[in-house]
Amino acid sequence: MPRSASCAIAAAAAIALGVGAAGATTSMVQAMPKPPAGAELGRLAKPPAYSSFASQRLYFVMPDRYANGDPSNDRGGASGLRSVTGYDPSDIGWFHGGDLKGLTGTCTDKRTGLARLADLGFTGVWVTPAVVQRAVQGDSAAYHGYWGRDFTSVDPHLGTNDDFDAFADCAHGLGLKVYLDVVVNHTADVILLAGGTDFRGPDEVPYRDCRGKPFSADRYAGGKRFPCLSDRYQPRQALVLPQDRALKRPAWLNQVTRYHNRGDIDFGSCSPVCFEQGDFFGLDDLFTEQPFVVNGLAQVFGDWVRRYKLDGFRVDTAKHVDRAFFRSWVPKIRAAARAAGVNDFEIFGEVAVTDAAELSTFVRDRALPNVIDFPLQDSLVRFAGGSAGPRGISGRLADDDYFRGPSGIAPTPATFLGNHDTGRAALLIKQQTGSHGIELERRVLLGHSLLYLLRGAPVVYYGDEVGMIGRGGDKAARQDLFPTKVTEWQTEERVGGPPIGTGSSFEIDLATHPVASHLRELGRLRGAHPALAIGSSVVRSANEGLLVVSRFDRADRREYLVAFNASEEQQPVTVTTATPSSRWTQLLGADVKLVETDSSGRLSFVVPSLDAVLLRADAQLSRPGAVRATLRAAADRFTNLKVVSATVASRDPVSVTFAARRPGAKSWSLLAVDDGAPYRVFLDPRRYKRGERVSLVAVVRASDGTVSTSPVLSLQVRK
């Protein structure tokens, strides 16, 4: 993105302003409004808020590969060759027989099923799409769930709607939330395009209404009206075989005018329009700019929420729908959830980019509520694997500020190490430096410590708990937990144990397996100590192979310190904490002996190699009183946004609320709440008029509840 010009500020001397006490009226510019006071100050000075999703620990599972609870549905009610049934348990690209009954289990036996997941410390289960699939396409089957053709029912390979009822009821009875993978970007590949599948953009072939008049779909996206359409006027002539003309449900999905029909995405040279309107690997791309399509997708997926009382959606290929889609679709889904009694329904989307600033645009500009944290995943596996230092992690934590907004809720993305596309955690960590044996085991444990002890909702991919490694991504990362008939999987290396052979992963003792037992302990710690889930984060050190982060329990006014050492040698560390003159209790890691901070908060100890150490201060945070700070404004170096920063002169873990007052406004509007340094808010010049001056203020809340405000800063956001 282009680098913007530097900010225009009321006066050169106003670039840096000192913070006064609450209610201070000092101003360097006569026309500036006074800082907020009284009830308005109280409204802005509330402590940071965190979503319920921050306290979740998710197990991500592909039901076809978990457990076979009903062999009678292995072929999905069909018979004959695998090209008809989709079933071939000896081939990695076909259905293997796992189903909802197998995933549910008895609901009491901790060796299998959902009770096993609850026993491992998970609080939620995320399942791949359960809708009816086009069982076979090309040279593989739809065991993964992403080739939906009937969005109203459960795929017969997985069971019945009643089986999903039983699954959801069991999960909720065990205290597990249920997150369903949904696809709103495309359906199964049913439409044939005349003349080839190369993408034809609007500049080459514009859309035409039913009268043949050209129009731009972008003009109507997110609105309530749309031009009439005809099969006759399509970018590419759309054809459907006679036997497929009623294949999809709801019935409107069979209308070819509900699709873009422009050809396939070319991932090597695609434009933004191509990414949004092209067919994803040939799958029929829904024309989501149409309000009819938005409403139809809200109705069909809202029905799943209403029937099964689902707790959230993971949205597949969220990067590829039009820019206005989520702003229209999300409120309808949340309304359905509230009607079903689910008031904290979570929606997190798959946007596979590793640049945090770019990823944030899907939240800031497109109204996608939450995302999967691909940038952090990239940094975690590199650090845990030993190929990179910790600065990628510390930088990503700081980049949370790009995601902060007027809700005041701290960003809590879904975090992960490996998945069904990228490959398993152990493989990705192994690939960094070629580690194996006990070193690989220790690096995998370190990776999961990072996942659980840093901010975010950790997601563990099924099979990682028993040390599966695999040999690649996609099909090669979707092993069976039940006895597999795939020969190559029988001999694959595993972390913490031998190859599985013809045995079952359910026979592995989770109490003694290094990965499973570590996950259970991490889950226990995260559940017992809220700071590890909803605590703010301050990076104390990020050098070489060592990362040290403080987490804070604001309710208990307590500091935690977690140190991660990715090097093969023990490392001494000295950091300054926010808790002076306190002993610290060790909660995790090899013994580091007695540790105590001095009167300045300095703490020194040795972190064992390839390990994580978690400490909790015995003493509460000191009471800092009024906190002083400075405000600065500048152009962001990496985006076209303006950044306003508050530099706080205190080691106390304060929170900073940024508020704005536009010309003519009678009150201050909340821009964002930042719960950890660096304290920043980003302003988008496109949302302001040219020459408009905006008044800005920072409200600083100390850990003891003391509140102070900055003098007001006048800023011309857009020249």
Burial of 108 (0-12, 13-18, 19+ CB in 10 A): exposed
State the catalytic residue, choosing from 316, 401, 553, 674: 316
Asked whether the predicted pLDDT for residue 9 surpasses 60, the reply is no
Q: Where is average pLDDT lowest: 33-37, 63-67, 285-289?
A: 33-37
Q: Domains of the chain (ranges plus CATH)? A: 8-50+625-716 (2.60.40.10), 58-184+289-525 (3.20.20.80), 534-617 (2.60.40.1180)
Q: What is the mean pLDDT of residues 510-530?
A: 99
Q: What is the mean pLDDT of residues 61-89?
A: 99
Cis peptide before 678 (omega within 30 of 0): yes
Q: How far apart are CA 459 and CA 446, in angstroms?
A: 15
pLDDT tens digit sequence for 214-225: 999 999 999 999
Q: Hey, which bits of 240-317 come out as E strands?
A: 312-316
Place of tokens 């890691």: 589
Q: How confident is the model at residue 10 (pLDDT cuts 50, 70, 90)?
A: very low
Long-range contacts of 5-11 (CB under 8 A, 24+ apart): 5/635, 5/719, 6/634, 6/635, 7/633, 7/634, 7/635, 7/642, 7/715, 7/716, 7/717, 8/715, 8/716, 8/719, 9/633, 9/713, 9/714, 9/715, 9/716, 10/693, 10/713, 10/714, 10/715
Whether 692 sits among the annotated catalytic residues: the reply is: no
Q: What is the pTM of this model?
A: 0.95
State the CB neighbour count (10 A cutoff) for residue 476: 16
pLDDT score, position 593: 86
Q: Which two tokens stand for residue 152?
A: 């109203």
Q: Where is average pLDDT lowest: 304-313, 586-595, 695-704?
A: 586-595
pLDDT score, position 15: 37
Q: How far apart are CA 309 and CA 307, in angstroms?
A: 6
Q: Are 500 and 482 contacting, i.e. CB atoms less than 8 angstroms apart?
A: no
Asked whether the predicted pLDDT for residue 17 surpasses 70, the reply is no
State the CB neighbour count (10 A cutoff) for residue 264: 19
Percent of the chain predicted with pLDDT > 70:
96
pLDDT score, position 11: 33
Q: How far apart are CA 70 and CA 245, in angstroms?
A: 31
Q: How far apart are CA 683 and CA 672, in angstroms?
A: 10
Q: How confident is the model at residue 32 (pLDDT cuts 50, 70, 90)?
A: confident
Burial of 24 (0-12, 13-18, 19+ CB in 10 A): middle
Q: Which of 175, 81, 168 is nearest to 127 (CA)?
A: 168
Q: What is the mean pLDDT of residues 391-401?
A: 99
Q: Is 214 helix (H, G, I), strand (E, B) or coil?
A: strand
pLDDT score, position 31: 67
pLDDT score, position 23: 34
pLDDT tens digit sequence for 147-170: 999 999 999 999 999 999 999 999
State the CB neighbour count (10 A cutoff) for residue 16: 11
CA atoms within 13 A on the CB side of 298: 20
Orientation of helix 291-308 relative to helix 161-173, angle to 10° = 60
Asked whether the predicted pLDDT for residue 201 surpasses 80, the reply is yes
CA distances from residue 154 to 158, 160, 543 in whole angstroms, order as listed: 7, 6, 50
3-state secondary structure 94-118: CECCCCHHHHHCCCCCCCCHHHHHH
Q: What is the mean pLDDT of residues 40-56?
A: 96
Percent of the chain predicted with pLDDT > 90:
93
Q: Which two tokens stand for residue 184?
A: 């709103």
Q: Look over the chain and give the mean of its residue pLDDT values, rounded to a whole number.
A: 95
**Beta strands at 370-371 and 58-61: parallel, antiparallel or unpaired:** unpaired
pLDDT score, position 629: 82
Q: What is the mean pLDDT of residues 530-549?
A: 97
Q: What is the mean pLDDT of residues 195-216?
A: 97
Orientation of helix 291-308 relative to helix 325-339, angle to 10° = 30
Helix (H) or strand (E) holding 336: helix 325-339
pLDDT tens digit sequence for 492-513: 999 999 999 999 999 999 999 9
Q: What is the mean pLDDT of residues 13-42?
A: 59
Q: Are 508 and 110 contacting, i.e. CB atoms less than 8 angstroms apart?
A: no
Asked whether the predicted pLDDT for residue 24 surpasses 90, the reply is no
Helix (H) or strand (E) holding 616: strand 611-617
Asked whether the predicted pLDDT for residue 349 surpasses 80, the reply is yes
Q: How confident is the model at residue 135 (pLDDT cuts 50, 70, 90)?
A: very high
Q: What is the mean pLDDT of residues 171-180?
A: 99
Q: Give the rounded distance of the alpha carbon of 547 from its chain centre.
A: 22
State the catalytic residue, choosing from 150, 181, 276, 350: 350
Asked whether the predicted pLDDT for residue 27 surpasses 50, the reply is no
Asked whether the predicted pLDDT for residue 25 surpasses 60, the reply is no
Helix (H) or strand (E) holding 529: none
Whether 266 sits among the annotated catalytic residues: the reply is: no
Q: Are 653 and 705 contacting, i.e. CB atoms less than 8 angstroms apart?
A: no
Higher pLDDT, 588 or 30: 588
Helix, strand, coil % over all residues of the chain, rounded to 5: 30, 25, 45
Q: Which two tokens stand for residue 714?
A: 């006048």
Asked whether the predicted pLDDT for residue 19 surpasses 90, the reply is no
Q: Where is average pLDDT lowest: 366-370, 428-432, 703-707?
A: 703-707
Q: How confident is the model at residue 649 (pLDDT cuts 50, 70, 90)?
A: confident
pLDDT score, position 222: 97
Asked whether the predicted pLDDT for residue 698 surpasses 50, the reply is yes
